[in-house]
């Protein structure tokens, strides 16, 4: 019985630890240009591997663009070819891929912003630099799921599993040794987690 209690208590900690490690890997999704493939068809190269010259055009206009493979890129076929692109700068594209950060407070009012490194999709042809800065709202998550926290609170809340999962280990220890406050603390926590009043200890949002 003691062994099972130990497993039920430590399992949520392990799950959130793995989630945290996965989150750390996603912090710098933009660190520089993507690697260009070698011996690929020149016409199939991504935007980071070619240089394109736009003609005089109006914003948002679809135009034919002359592109040339970069000198450092080895490709098959004619290195100069035509592509179709929108007449706008890369930072004006609707879809960006930007780096994330944990060095900001997600619960602070007004919301904090951080300077992210951003880029565009490989198949997008646009004017200017493909790598640029953009200020984004701080809304990172430590990858603790609300549904998981609620299920743990309902099933194993008496052992403090929900609090351990959220990184609130002091409260978790209190619940563990008081058997969930004889059920009262457990019931209260179910309500608090269901309404998202109790969140991860680091202040991040639920997934």
The Cα 207–Cα 141 span in angstroms is 7
The Cα 51–Cα 42 span in angstroms is 12
Say if residue 116 is in the same domain as residue 159. Answer: no
Confirm whether 172 is domain-assigned: yes
Confirm whether 31 is domain-assigned: no
Beta bridge partners of 63: 85
Quick: pLDDT tens for 13-62: 444 544 444 434 443 444 334 478 888 899 999 999 999 999 999 999 99
> Which pLDDT value is given to residue 50?
94
Question: Which of 90, 118, 137 is a domain's end point?
Answer: 137
> Which pLDDT value is given to residue 61?
93
Q: Residue 156 in contact with residue 162, Cβ under 8 Å?
A: yes
Dihedral (Cα; 87, 90, 91, 94), 10-degree rounding: 70
Q: Residue 67 in contact with residue 125, Cβ under 8 Å?
A: yes
Say if residue 151 is in the same domain as residue 176. Answer: yes
Confirm whether 104 is domain-assigned: yes
Say if residue 56 is in the same domain as residue 100. Answer: yes
Say if residue 12 is in the same domain as residue 65. Answer: no
Quick: pLDDT tens for 62-95: 999 999 999 989 999 999 999 999 999 999 998 8
> Which pLDDT value is given to residue 108?
63
- Number of separate domains in the chain: 2
- Peptide bond preceding 25 in cis form (omega within 30 of 0): no
Overall pTM > 0.85: no
Quick: pLDDT tens for 134-181: 988 876 655 677 888 888 888 888 888 888 888 788 888 888 888 777
Quick: pLDDT tens for 104-141: 766 666 777 888 999 999 999 999 999 999 988 876 65
Say if residue 150 is in the same domain as residue 133. Answer: no
- Domain carrying residue 162: 2-25+142-194
Say if residue 86 is in the same domain as residue 100. Answer: yes
Say if residue 112 is in the same domain as residue 178. Answer: no
């Amino acid at each position: 019985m003691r062994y099972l209690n130990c497993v039920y208590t430590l399992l949520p900690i392990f799950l959130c630890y793995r989630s945290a490690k996965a989150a750390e890997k996603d912090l710098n999704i933009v660190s520089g240009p993507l690697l260009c493939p070698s011996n690929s068809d020149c016409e199939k190269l991504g935007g980071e591997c070619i240089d394109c010259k736009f003609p005089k055009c109006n914003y948002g206009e679809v135009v034919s663009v002359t592109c040339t493979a970069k000198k450092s890129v080895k490709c098959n076929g004619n290195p100069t070819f035509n592509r179709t692109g929108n007449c706008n700068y890369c930072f004006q594209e609707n879809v960006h891929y930007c780096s994330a950060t944990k060095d900001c407070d997600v619960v602070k009012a007004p919301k904090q912003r951080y300077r992210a490194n951003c880029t565009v999709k490989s198949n997008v042809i646009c004017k200017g630099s493909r790598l640029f800065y953009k200020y984004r709202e701080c809304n990172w998550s430590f990858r603790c799921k609300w549904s998981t926290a609620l299920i743990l609170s309902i099933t194993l809340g008496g052992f403090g599993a929900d609090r351990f999962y959220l990184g609130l280990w002091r409260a978790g220890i209190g619940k563990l040794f008081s058997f969930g406050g004889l059920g009262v603390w457990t019931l209260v926590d179910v309500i608090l987690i269901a309404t998202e009043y109790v969140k991860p200890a680091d202040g991040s949002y639920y997934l």
